[in-house]
Amino acid sequence: QAAKSSSTPTRRRTNPAALLEQYQDALRTLARNDALTSGDLPHAFQAITATCGSLLRVERASIWLFDKNRLAISLSDLYERGTHHRLSDITLKVADYAPYFRALAGEEHAISARDALSDPRTKDFADPYLRPLGIGAMLDAPIRQKGHVVGVLCAEHVGGRRQWTPYEVHLA
């Protein structure tokens, strides 16, 4: 009998109670982080993206913020497996990715794209962003301030598709 092939990575199954404890520990650690409590945004973003990357076991985690006119988002911090990058020249125009930004504004928790190359909300990123970086799945959570989306926290799985668990979607 042939082995079943799948492009979705297998992840070890973890007890939901253990996952919850892991998430709560991470949130407590973030809450005590000096950068978050002092308002040091660059270091706060580094702590958040590193925690996101570790908890969700993704190769890339990033924070993007809208410009003052909400016409584009710019990369504020990129975490790639243990390394942080501040690449201020990367900007995405809202008009170029309208389905994504409409979905982002309407999501209560996160955009969960198990196949980012074909998901209607994320497929516009395929050629300029996803394929060149090898990203197969995205979990993007809106960052809100006073009820308005001001940015996005992105978790990007490098490789094929990935089915995000309900715990992962809720965490984001």
Q: 85-126 pLDDT, tens per residue?
A: 766 678 999 999 999 999 999 888 899 999 999 999 999 999
pLDDT at 97: 97
pLDDT at 8: 41
pLDDT at 9: 42
**Residue 18, both tokens:** 């253990």
- Burial code of 18-33, b = ≥16 C-beta within 10 A, e = fewer? ebeeebeebeeebeeb
Given a cut of 50, is residue 5 above it in pLDDT? no
Judged on CB neighbours under 10 Å (0-12, 13-18, 19+), 4 is: exposed
Of 3-17, 23-37, 128-142, 143-157, the range with the lowest mean pLDDT is 3-17
How do residues 61-70 score in pLDDT, each as one tens digit?
999 999 999 9
Cα dihedral: 64, 95, 164, 117 (round 10) = -120
pLDDT at 7: 42
Q: What is the mean pLDDT of residues 34-49?
A: 88
d(CA 105, CA 94): 12
Q: Please give the distance of CA 22 from its chain centroid, rounded to a whole number.
A: 18
Please state, rounded to an integer, the average pLDDT across all residues of the chain.
Answer: 86
Given a cut of 50, is residue 53 above it in pLDDT? yes
pLDDT at 14: 61
pLDDT at 88: 62
pLDDT at 86: 66
